[in-house]
Amino acid sequence: MSRSRVWELWRRAETGPLCPEREFDLKRFYPAVKRLVKEYDITYDPETVIPTDNTLIDDVFKAGIDLLTEVGVLCPDTEKIIQLEEREVKESLATLSGEMTVGEGKDACLLKHRKMEDHEPARVFAGPSGNPISEEMAIPIYQSCAQEPTVDLLMYGTPTTIAGMVSKDGSPMEMYAEVANVRWLREAARRAGRPGMFIIGSGAVGVAPAILASLVENGYRKTDGIQLAGLPQLKIPYFELCKAEFCIEYGCRGWVTSPAYIGGLPGGPEAAAVTEVAECIAANLVFRTPWVCVDIHDLLYPPGTSRRDVMSMVNLVTAALAKHTKLIVSTLCDRVYAGCCTDMAFYEFAVAALGAAVAGGDPMSGCCREGRYTDYVTGMEGRCTGEIAKSVTGMRRVDANDIAKAILAKYEDRLPPKGKPPIGKEFRECYNPKTVTPNKEYVELYGKIKKELEDMGISYKF
């Protein structure tokens, strides 16, 4: 995007129509998304976990474009609307190359836009995905993910303390925590024999910590990335625009998550899907990045992301973006309900990886136990995600949907509120922290689950 175009968007954040946030939500956004779902006759079918209806995929995309151009994007700092025309939305999408290189040297990774049922293997994230980790276990946890051959990209966690103190927003501890975190990520990648591996920094920190962590020795490189985040319902605050501008000027990659919520202001699953299409396309224009993450949650049963309705809508949005744009699309399964070293956790990550890869996305594994507890993440979840994602390339959606439903049947009765997911174990209980190797119980359990998934129809290549 040209500098003049960037300035024009910034200008709209200062000069656009005045609209208080509550009015934007209740009088502008909500009526529009509700009407568009009805106009396009978008209906959620629980039996369709991976979308097979091309008309539905088209309609969700069209409704997302209509929502974005009708409602616009609110800058909460100015309470002004950044209005976007359909013409400029389509022009921005038309200029996407569909490719981007991250990482460096022998560990460089070429990210590509993927289509539904693509024969191009998915790229796989692994790591805590912003969830809590301890200072003591940070490097072993990161290394356990980085050393998995089917993992391509390394994701940050959030240290619960730094030098024994709690990291608070805007404090010196937050500044130091981001510097320490990137060094832990870098050291873990080096120990895994992948010193040039792409790592991504925290979306939760402010602008200053992100900049500082890029300036220090062994900090974020220009081939690394920083997470950017929109606020729910098409809002982008100034501090995130500042981080996006830093990414552009410094030269690192911006990776955007803009969540939509089932049970939140959008309403049901259908409206959340339409909202998320609009969010991802808005991110491309306003943050000036070709790399977005489909991020949907269910507010009725937070914070896990492995429920049927959530994954169905994530896969639907992924398919819509895969079919109609050249965006590079990641998908989020950053919080499963079960703990590490349990069959249920493997099932949860497996169905997410299958859906993402076949729908046209690049999957991400994250934390166990809903991301509520410290150090409930290991590289084995990344192994499960990566081996499935890279084994199902070219699989037909209708076949993948049957497998996804069979996997869901293995654990849905254990989901809250009626079920009780197994607690499992934290990192140091199922890995040797010194050798960074999983224990025998964990390896044998994964072998058992892998055999079950093979019997369901997944032909492993690893």
Q: What is the pLDDT of residue 2?
A: 63
Per-residue pLDDT at 211: 86
- The pLDDT, as a whole number, for residue 169 is 79
- What is the set of domains in the chain, with CATH numbers? 99-456 (3.20.20.460)
What does the alpha-carbon distance between residue 333 and residue 345 come to, in Å, rounded to a whole number? 11
Side-chain half-sphere CA neighbours of 226 within 13 A: 32
Tally of CB atoms within 10 A around 37: 26
Q: Are 197 and 146 in contact (CB under 8 A)?
A: yes
CA nearest to 279, candidates 63, 430, 424: 63
| Residue among 215, 267, 340 at smallest CA distance from 30 | 267
Tens digit of each residue's pLDDT, the chain (462 residues)? 566 778 899 999 999 999 999 999 999 999 999 999 999 999 999 999 999 999 999 999 999 999 999 999 999 999 999 999 999 999 999 999 999 999 999 999 999 999 999 999 999 999 999 899 999 999 999 999 999 999 999 999 999 998 888 888 778 888 888 999 999 999 999 999 999 999 998 877 778 888 889 988 889 999 999 999 999 999 999 999 999 999 999 999 999 999 999 999 999 999 999 999 999 999 999 999 999 999 999 998 878 899 999 999 999 999 999 999 999 999 988 899 999 999 999 999 999 999 999 999 999 999 999 999 999 999 999 999 999 999 999 999 999 999 999 999 999 999 999 999 999 999 999 999 999 999 999 999 999 999 999 999 999 998
Would you state the pLDDT for residue 1?
Answer: 55
Q: Taking the model in full, what pTM does it have?
A: 0.96
d(CA 59, CA 394): 24
Give Cβ neighbours of residue 116 (< 8 Å, ≥ 6 apart).
Answer: 319, 322, 323, 358, 359, 360, 397
